[in-house]
């Protein structure tokens, strides 16, 4: 008798992997992109999405930004950003696999 073989629980489609590659690229881009704000005599540079894990503030005196500098780094927020990114990838994979399995005709 020909019985259909069951898929393993960790098996995903190639199309899901391709989309996940682009989703991962977008999440990494959002995390490493630098957001710069320049106010009257202050320049603020921040990195991280959705939580800012690196912030640098420079005060401007006499047309130079090097006089006073303050840097704030948080590895807890970096870990939270990584966990949120992993959650986005897992949710995307599950959603794409559900859509792919629904689209495929039964054997």
Dihedral (Cα; 7, 11, 13, 19), 10-degree rounding: 150
The domain spans of the chain are 28-97
pLDDT tens figures, 32-44: 999 898 887 888 8
62-105 pLDDT, tens per residue? Answer: 666 566 677 889 999 999 999 999 999 999 999 998 888 776 66
Report the 10 Å Cβ neighbour count for 34: 10
Q: How close are the terminal C-alpha atoms of the chain, in Å?
A: 15
* Dihedral angle over CA of 90, 92, 98, 102, nearest 10: -160
User: How open is the CA angle 29-31-32, to the nearest 5 degrees?
Assistant: 70
- The structure's pTM equals 0.76
């Amino acid at each position: 008798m020909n019985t259909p073989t069951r898929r393993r629980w960790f098996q995903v489609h190639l199309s899901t992997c391709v989309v996940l590659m682009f989703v991962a690229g977008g999440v990494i881009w959002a995390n490493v992109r630098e957001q710069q704000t320049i106010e009257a005599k202050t320049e603020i540079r921040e990195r991280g999405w959705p939580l800012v894990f690196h912030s640098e503030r420079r005060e401007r005196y006499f047309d130079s930004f090097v006089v006073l500098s303050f840097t704030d780094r948080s590895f807890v927020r970096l870990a939270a950003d990584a966990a949120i990114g992993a959650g986005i990838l897992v949710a995307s994979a599950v959603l794409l696999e559900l859509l792919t399995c629904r689209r495929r005709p039964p054997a």
